[in-house]
Amino acid sequence: MPYIKCLPSTYNTTLYFTPEELKLLKGSPVLSETFTHYQSIARQYAYFYKRLQNNHFASKLPLREGFTYDSYRWAVSSVTTRLNQIPTTDGSQMTYALIPLWDMCNHCNGQLSTDFDLLKNSSECYAMADFKKDEQVFIFYGSRPNAQLLLYNGFVYPENLCDTYAIKLGVSKSDPLFTLKKKVLGLAKLPIAPFHLRPGPKPVSSDLLAFLRVSCMDEPKLQELLQAGNLENLPSLLKNEEAAISVENELKVWNFLSARIELLLGIYPTTLQADKVQLENKELNDRSHAALQLIICEKTILENTLMYAMSKKLSLS
């Protein structure tokens, strides 16, 4: 197929990273995600390889002799870098498809400007800016953090307005107040998922703030919240940054977050400044360059959050 032949022969997704390139991701949450993804793809390949080798009907397929891990890795990356969700012909459900030519467009900040016309059974993309003649046409891939862009698309977008840093937090079952805190968190309707730190002046989301407040509460305050008559207002109460639960609780919140951020920054073997210097190395290949870009974006978010938490502590003193 002409379309398949025009696809890149290799990619910069983390499936293609060498051990030396993976070392650049040390300290990043993406490193463990990379290993998990790699393990999943390797298992898939092993499963299909075994079926092709052992199945009598598969023995006559041309694919049987040329089905290597490299070819499967290429196929997976070809799909993850350009996969799109579209409706089925009857519009009853969503399915996946590759869309030739359109999927060659690069990503930039903007808004989703692609629709699907069921009557025409075609995807329609509208220019999200007034592109001039000979100017590259960009599209917005969606609200994806740089970690996901590197894993599945093979690039990092430093100007990404949708970038986040996933921080895993939870209440320990060994906490004497575990049951009370779990109940309050449930009433607050907080998502059971990693929280996300954001770039910019407001790095802490309302969900994260609410979780931290509950996590740092003492028993009297937890009981007070549970015995209050207006539990429907609990989510807005906990998420209101302008109204502290108490000065003591708020200090615990920002002290806890500061300590966690310092711990996360300490996991990286290099400093942000050293990473920026290394990024200027003209001999870096694309994958190494992208890995350093990601590390820089992550550390920038973390350091910005640390400064934010420290400013909050100062405002309470």
Q: Give me the CATH number covering residue 307.
A: 3.90.1420.10
- Could you give the CA distance from residue 199 to residue 185 in angstroms, rounded to a whole number? 25
With a CB cutoff of 8 Å and minimum separation 6, the contacts of 117 are: 123, 124
Match 């969606």 to its residue by tokens: 142
pLDDT value of residue 89: 81
Lowest-pLDDT choice from 72-86, 164-178, 218-232: 218-232
Residues 246 and 288 in one domain: yes
Distance CA(139)–CA(111), nearest Å, equals 8
Half-sphere exposure (Cβ direction) of 95: Cα atoms closer than 13 Å: 11
The answer to whether the CB of 60 falls within 8 A of the CB of 72 is no
Question: Are 268 and 199 contained in the same domain?
Answer: yes
User: Cβ distance 113 to 127 under 8 Å?
Assistant: yes
Could you tell me whether strands 122-125 and 94-98 are parallel, antiparallel, or unpaired per DSSP bridges?
unpaired
Its sign, for the CA torsion 135, 136, 142, 145, is negative
Q: What is the pLDDT of residues 257-308, one digit of tens each?
A: 999 999 999 999 999 999 999 999 999 999 999 999 999 999 999 999 999 9
Beta carbons of 219 and 173 less than 8 angstroms apart: no
Q: Are 301 and 163 in contact (CB under 8 A)?
A: yes
pLDDT-derived band at 251, boundaries 50, 70, 90: very high
Whether residues 189 and 286 share a domain: the answer is yes
CB 234 within 8 A of CB 241: no
pLDDT higher than threshold 90 for residue 229:
no
User: What pTM value is reported for the model?
Assistant: 0.92
Could you tell me if residue 152 is inside a domain? no
What is the residue range of 131's domain?
A: 85-144
Task: Give me the number of domains the chain comprises.
Answer: 3
Q: Is residue 160 part of a domain?
A: no
Residue whose entry in the numeric block shows the structure tokens 């960009």: 138
Same structural domain, 98 and 234: no
Residue 11 lies in a domain: yes
In a domain, 18, yes or no: yes
Predicted local distance difference test score (pLDDT) of residue 121? 86
What are the angstrom distances between the C-alpha of 173 and each of 177, 179, 218, 242?
9, 8, 16, 30
